[in-house]
Amino acid sequence: MKKYTLIVVSVIAIGISAIVGSCNVENDCSLFLSGTIKHESIDWSDGASVPADYANADGETVGWCPMGTQLQGVTGIWYRNNSTASVMYNLGNVDLGSVQSFDASMADSDVCDSPMIVGDVWVIDCKDGYVKFKVKSVEDINSADWGVGVDYEFSTTTTFS
């Protein structure tokens, strides 16, 4: 019996090792949720869905800078925050798991120099909580819905797990 238990445990360990060993930049294997932010809005607390009622929308993507001074020659897709505080900040290309909490003192009042760029991590005050997300893909500025693919975590408190 011990021999069979050892074999089963070994097979499980090899399987876990193969899965974890295949995680890298291209194949993240993260424990975060995935979603797409679009111009038609997003509700982070409802599974990053498009809300039936726009009043519940936490934000949306836009093809112009919504917060700050427009910069000549800077184009892209930006996140427009719908919370009353409109507090958000970009941490650049960092590990999403390293972001443990929302820090209002890091809020950026002018985000025109930083449209959504693959790899960047954003932390945002939402209507009913907080979200951190890492940009995984950005559609062309001429796309119909300005889609931005993200991995994210939503929290009702300023602390992320």
pTM listed for this prediction: 0.79
Task: For residue 14, tell me if it sits in a domain.
Answer: no
Q: Is residue 4 one of the residues assigned to a domain?
A: no
Contact yes or no for 42/131 (Cβ under 8 A): no
Looking at residue 18, its pLDDT comes to: 38
pLDDT digits (tens, 9 = 90+) for 4-15: 443 433 434 334
Evaluate if residue 156 carries a pLDDT over 90: yes
6 within a domain of the structure (yes/no): no
Which of 7 and 57 is assigned the larger pLDDT?
57
Q: Does some domain include residue 7? A: no
At 30 the pLDDT is 63
Q: How many domains does the chain have?
A: 1
19 part of a folded domain: no
Q: Which residues are CB-neighbours of 36 under 8 A, at least 6 positions away?
A: 48, 147, 148, 149, 150
